[in-house]
Amino acid sequence: MSTETESNYFSSYPPPKALQRHESLTRAFVQLQLEKKRRVVLVTSGGTTLENQTVRFIDNFSAGTRGASSAEQFLENGYAVIFLHRQFSLLPYSRHYSHSTNCFLDFMDEDPATSSIVVRDEYQSFMRDVLRKYRYAKENNLLLVLPFTTVTEYMFELRALAHVMKPLGANALFYLAAAVSDFFIPRDRMAEHKIQSSEIPAHLTSSTGTSAPVAASAEDTIQDDDVYTGYNEEPSTTAAEEEHRSKKLIIDLDPVPKFLHRLVDGWAPEGSYIVSFKLETDPSLLVYKARTSLQRYAHHLVIGNLLSTRKWEVVFVTPEEPHERWIRVPKAKRSKSISGSENQIGLAEKVFHPQLSQGDEEKRGEDGAELVPDGGLEIESLIIPELVKLHTKRIESRQ
């Protein structure tokens, strides 16, 4: 990724309205952590949309669970956290109630004697623990929460915040857990308004694409080249082709520029530690794609995970030996998952290590972390302590 490509991309879009404010907040936050000699991690979380006015929009499944849970674990391990998240995705601490299988109100009750709202007895201990941790983070200025929505906003925010974090040097860590879109619609092809599913009378549409009354007969309709499809189609030649075309929407997406190399080589503080994620659905591709990403962008760690087993296992892929290390939640402590497939645990590892026996994956889990309410162990409570060790090693190597 060249500086020219970077310049062309960012000059094609106006910066987010909140960017200047976010930079100011981050600068003050970083300065405070420098005074306290704390490490700071930028956690990115949630998905990214492609459109400006989102009546219809392309999105992904990410709710921000990984990022929000990881942020809590970083705080537990003494880091200050800048939490750059998709607006309305899960947040640290409040996620335990906003994303619960129970409605938030199910945690509450009314004291008949005083008419006061109270926490139900069975949730007292858990909610007290979460509340104390949240208050500690807030009162000690350990957590800065910043939102984004579109993929372009995310790119602007990441670049700006990385530059603001430069004084941190090796004490900065980038944990890129956001599910960033791989494709987007360039601004010059982006529809300004809602994409219509049927023909619109010409007198309701001006040449600029905004609603404006013009002199036209009732039979006049928008011409083919005025109908947005996101793709330059050849004109229809027959009535059958025209009828078929009127029932479909074709969107031509461009690949999102890969700015990870620019983060590594230009934006991030010198000596900082950079972690990216690789999510796949095919076990035979996971480790290969993670290794390829690490080689291509020359950062420090790729955390690979399968969609079907992401709550129970991940693989750390690093440039240093042992190069590939699996972290798994022990079978007895795995949380329930509607979408997960336990029979796929270990498959991605066996692609590269076919000699592994069925029992090997059970030996690789780790104990000692806290349980979530359903009795399961959150894998982030295993990921983050191991990552902290790697970051510490990086810091020590530069001293």
- The string over 13-30, giving b where at least 16 C-beta atoms fall within 10 Å of a residue's C-beta and e elsewhere, is eeebeebeebbebbeebb
How many of the other CB atoms lie within 10 Å of CB of 328?
A: 22
Helix (H, G, I), strand (E, B) or coil at 313: strand
- Full-model pTM: 0.83
Buried b (16+ CB within 10 A) or exposed e, 252-279: ebeebbebbbbbbeebbbeebbbbbbbb
Three-state SS at 40: strand
Tally of helices (H runs) and strands (E runs) in the chain = 11, 12
In tens digits, what is the pLDDT along the chain, a chain of 399 residues? Answer: 578 889 888 998 899 999 999 999 999 999 999 999 999 999 999 988 765 555 566 666 678 899 999 999 999 999 999 999 999 899 999 998 876 666 888 899 999 999 999 999 999 999 999 999 999 999 999 999 999 998 899 999 999 999 999 999 999 999 999 988 777 677 777 666 666 666 677 777 654 444 433 333 334 444 444 444 444 455 556 666 665 555 566 777 877 778 999 999 999 999 999 999 999 999 999 999 999 999 999 999 999 999 999 999 999 999 999 899 999 999 999 988 888 899 999 999 988 888 776 555 444 444 444 555 555 899 999 999 999 999 999 999 998
Helix, strand, coil abundance in the chain, percent, nearest 5 = 40, 15, 45
Q: What is the C-alpha separation between 67 and 290, in angstroms, rounded?
A: 19
Q: What's the pLDDT at 181?
A: 74
Whether the bond between 322 and the residue before it is cis, its omega within 30 degrees of 0, is yes
Q: Kindly list the domain boundaries of the chain, sorted by start residue.
A: 3-98+138-186+254-356+372-397
Give the model's pLDDT for residue 257: 77
For 178, counting Cβ atoms within 10 Å of its Cβ (0-12 exposed, 13-18 middle, 19+ buried), the class is buried
Indicate the residue type of 196. Answer: Q
Instruction: Please state which of the four CATH numbers 3.40.50.10300, 3.30.420.40, 3.40.50.300, 3.40.50.720 is assigned to the domain occupying 3-98+138-186+254-356+372-397.
Output: 3.40.50.10300
